[in-house]
Structure 1
Amino acid sequence: MIKKLMPFLAVIFIFSLAVFTACTEEKEKLVEIMVHDTLYVNVEIIPVIIDDIEINPEMISVGQSITLTTNITKESYVGDLIFTWRANGGTFNANVGDTVTWKSPDEAGTYTVSVTADDGAAYSGFGKRNIGVGMYAATADTYYVGAMNCVGCHSGIRTEWAETGHAHAWASLQTSDHAASYCNPCHTVDFDQVPGNAGYDDAPIAKFENVQCENCHGPSSFHPGSEGNPSISYKEDNCITCHSGDHHPFEADWNASRHGVASTNHGSENSRCQPCHSASGFIAAYGGGVEFNSDDPGDITCSACHDPHSAAIPYQVRTIADVTSVEANRQTAVIKVSGNGQLCVQCHKARRSADTEIEEGYEHFGPHASPQGDMVYGVSGYEFYDVQFEGSFGGENTGHAVIEDACVTCHMYATPYPNANTGHTFKANPAACAKCHGIIDDFDDIQANHDFDGDGAVEGLQSEVTGLMTNIEVLLVAAGLDTVGHADIVEALGATMNDTLATGEPDPAAQELRRGGYNYAFVYDDKSLGIHNPTYTIQLLLYSQDYLEGLINGKGKSIRETPMLSAHEKAIVPF
């Protein structure tokens, strides 16, 4: 149906089961109009407007047919129009002409039918209508269509997703002992109780059950295409809408963690640091198939550690790949701890070693913050490989490297409601130690088996380690370390990189201070005061103490064998 154009009039028709939209993509024409004796203005005239797509009947169910007719307004200079019809589902009896019949698909949902009217020369118009099949038609420009709409291009991802908990979220709710309607929003696609976008609240049908692609990526009725590019965000918002509250307070726990502020540190702006200071950087570095997104880097959020598309690793952990240590003591090692703890080692590892730090110095002295993976595995400390000493260095990993899931077991110890704790503060919990060490209230309740710091008392392991570090601080100052104006010993050691001889050559005395102090920095950055690896920690500190005493007392570069090196002795009991 074609009629004469009425300027400045736009009409939108809305039916109970169908919504029409006339788009303004038509080619336009400027017409000069006199509005005063001396004033002329240019007015845009749209030569072709599709006013409406009429439907008959207005109500349609699965598998039924409907008649579609276009109503057109056009200028007199526009030629004869050719009509081309398209739809994102169903079939036409013809795809030309101003009136066609469309048969709906065999699945309920909202479907978009569009028509282009073109005179084959200069002018065209475009219109589209949402049609509800077995449900109300979506009134939103983009609406939900269900995961099966994604299979054509993303079948591999969909196959992996089908094994995740999200893919079975509806069934898990229904088979639980607490299924209720107020649970539906987190077990379906877009149950927001706002009509118009064809989510589960508009159409409580099977295609919108479970947590699907569109829960995180947004409605995809016009994807692929510039109008319908999916949302990809690394922020925690995607997850905390559901993973929060008193019963599973992931949001509150994560917000209390250091991971929640990782990008506010300096690291996310440096390409070398991005993999461990941003979700986007971590995913790009560890097999996510994406590039770093500087506009939306994210903190170390849920999607950094958990792959929403795959359950190949328990708890949908993104990677547990082996980690090769930094070259230290002229060798490297493959760090491999138990289970999902290996995820943590991807970032919690040394980046620098004594091999270069001692000789050349560095302002940020030490292995780089958080070398816990190396400490647990018993590598990357300074083992005095280039110094002659009695006996051999007995560095080794401990039971902490091989207990189930390693880091996770102690640092993600979870407790149920009503005092729910998801473990996502990542703060080690003494309750996790009970299985091996008995019930303790504090980590220092784990006793050492020797007076390692020489203060005349056998104390808790952390107290012994603290005592050894105090001994080394005293020895470093006695050996010439200038601590004035520095926040701590590690910062003072970093400042020695500027110590040179009159010739401009590095000062050998500064190198000896760094040699004696490197393990102090290693233990300092580990932060566990020996808990991660008691034997390795004690060895590193005792050897450093012996070396510094030799420098001061004229013993030269020899180190005595420490009492804990015999085969039957360990740093703590029982372990």
Structure 2
Amino acid sequence: MKYALRISVVGLMAALLLVLGCTKKDTTGPVNRPPEISSVSASSDSVGTGELDTLFVSYSDPDGDSTTHIWSSDSGRVFHANRDTAFWAAPSTAGLYDVRVNVFDGTDSTEATVSIQVGEYTPAETLYYVGAQSCNEECHTSILTWWGSTAHADAYTALVNRGRGDDPQCLVCHTVGWNPNLDNGGFDEQMVDRLAGVQCENCHGPGSFHASAPDSLRQPLDSPLTAQFCAECHQTQHHPYLNEWQASAHSSSDLAAGGQASDPGCADCHTAEGFLATLHYDYTLPGDPQPLVCIACHHPHDARYQGQLRLPAGVGEPGLCEQCHMRD
């Protein structure tokens, strides 16, 4: 009897310990998550030696913990390192420097870095106009010489001679990049006479990148090979060329070629790209070829022939019209 009672007491105590052990509170708690930095930046990524740069950081804590931050750098000097607005004084030696920020939540930290160039100004990659003379340095001398004989080259002079040199309606088409509302590196009659007239960049777009790296960058037309491109200027009261062209069979490859504009046997005379290729220009026939647009027959760079035609207009070889209109 005593033996059985002893076993019962022992069993009761074991069960009690098991229950207490299973219900014991877990004191380890959830795993802490470190702060998360969403952005880090400086007011300028390029400053002069000794100049101040303002530092910015945005962050949050996924657990809602209180957070602090501190900026630091191995070079230069940080002011107000743990405030909302901090400053970094650049060192006196040019180079690329890293400024770090650490965000703490009392347990863990997260670090981010912003790089700042010192003493070596790097301009923003913004295109700007450089003028036709920049195209004359060893690369496009012959084209620039031909262009100098065209009406495009003297377009602004023609305005001045007519007393219209300050007419905003005329300046748009007789200068490079003219815009009355923007300081955009375009034409200003008092300051930038190198951008007077209709030059390379009117059709090819701002050439600053091309001029700075001519061996690695081509500067193709800034717009597709279309009549509408020329019509931006050549469709006014005194230049109604677009209307005249649209009324001609030249304006429709499909119409003129009987729907065979993409046929290599027809493309030479019924598409701009095909015709230019026959004249030994570097053009290939695209999937959507253009009809015989303005520059198929007119040379934008050369005025050796009347009307800036690519070949003489007279009868007989190598007349321009005979290239197509005397074929079998």
Class of the TM-score when normalised by the shorter of the 2 chains? 0.5 to 0.7
Q: Provide, for residues 302-346 of structure 1, a one-character-per-residue CA deviation record: whole Å limited to 9, x for no partner.
A: 10010011111111100239xxxxxxxxxxxxxx71799x32121
Aligned residue identity for 2:202: N
Equivalent residue, structure 2, for 1:313 = 305
Q: Distance in 1 between matches of 2:242 and 2:203?
A: 17
1:159 aligns with 2:142: no
Equivalent residue, structure 2, for 1:538 = none
Q: Distance in 2 between matches of 1:298 and 1:162?
A: 28
Determine which structure has greater relative contact order: mean sequence separation of CA pairs < 8 Å that are 6+ residues apart, divided by chain length: 2
Aligned residue identity for 2:149: E
**Residue number among 226, 246, 249 corresponding to 1:255 in the alignment:** 246
1:268 aligns with 2:261: yes
Percent identity, aligned pairs only, is 32
Equivalent residue, structure 1, for 2:315 = 337
- Contact preservation (8 Å) 1:144, 1:214: yes
Give the Å deviation of 1:278. 1.4
Equivalent residue, structure 1, for 2:162 = 176
Equivalent residue, structure 2, for 1:99 = 119
> 1:262–1:165: structure 2 CA closer, same or farther, 3 Å change rule?
same
Give the Å deviation of 1:197. 3.5
Q: Provide, for residues 153-186 of structure 1, a one-character-per-residue CA deviation record: whole Å limited to 9, x for no partner.
A: 2112111111111111111111125543321111
Equivalent pairs, count: 230
SS at match of 2:264: coil
> 1:349–1:338: structure 2 CA closer, same or farther, 3 Å change rule?
closer
| 1:367-382 correspondence to structure 2 within 5 Å | none
Q: Distance in 2 between matches of 1:311 and 1:189?
A: 20
> 1:304–1:228: structure 2 CA closer, same or farther, 3 Å change rule?
closer
Q: Distance in 2 between matches of 1:177 and 1:196?
A: 25
- Contact preservation (8 Å) 1:219, 1:230: no
Q: Distance in 2 between matches of 1:195 and 1:227?
A: 27
Give the Å deviation of 1:195. 2.1
1:205 aligns with 2:197: no
| 1:32-181 correspondence to structure 2 within 5 Å | 72-73=97-98, 98-99=118-119, 128-130=122-124, 141-152=126-137, 153-179=139-165, 180-181=167-168
Q: Distance in 2 between matches of 1:244 and 1:216?
A: 16
- Contact preservation (8 Å) 1:195, 1:202: no
1:284 aligns with 2:281: no
Q: Distance in 2 between matches of 1:12 and 1:227?
A: 31
Alpha-carbon RMSD? 3.9
- Contact preservation (8 Å) 1:190, 1:201: no
SS at match of 2:123: strand
Unpaired runs of at least 5, structure 1: 1-5, 15-33, 37-66, 84-97, 101-112, 114-127, 131-139, 322-335, 352-575
**Residue number among 227, 237, 248 corresponding to 1:246 in the alignment:** 237
Q: Distance in 1 between matches of 2:189 and 2:164?
A: 23
SS at match of 2:40: coil
Asked which structure has the greater CA Rg, the reply is: 2
Aligned residue identity for 1:99: G
> 1:192–1:12: structure 2 CA closer, same or farther, 3 Å change rule?
farther
Q: Distance in 1 between matches of 2:229 and 2:312?
A: 24
Q: Provide, for residues 254-294 of structure 1, a one-character-per-residue CA deviation record: whole Å limited to 9, x for no partner.
A: 1121111125642331112112111121111113x312241
| 1:215-226 correspondence to structure 2 within 5 Å | 215-223=202-210, 224=214
Give the Å deviation of 1:301. 0.8
Q: Distance in 1 between matches of 2:251 and 2:162?
A: 32
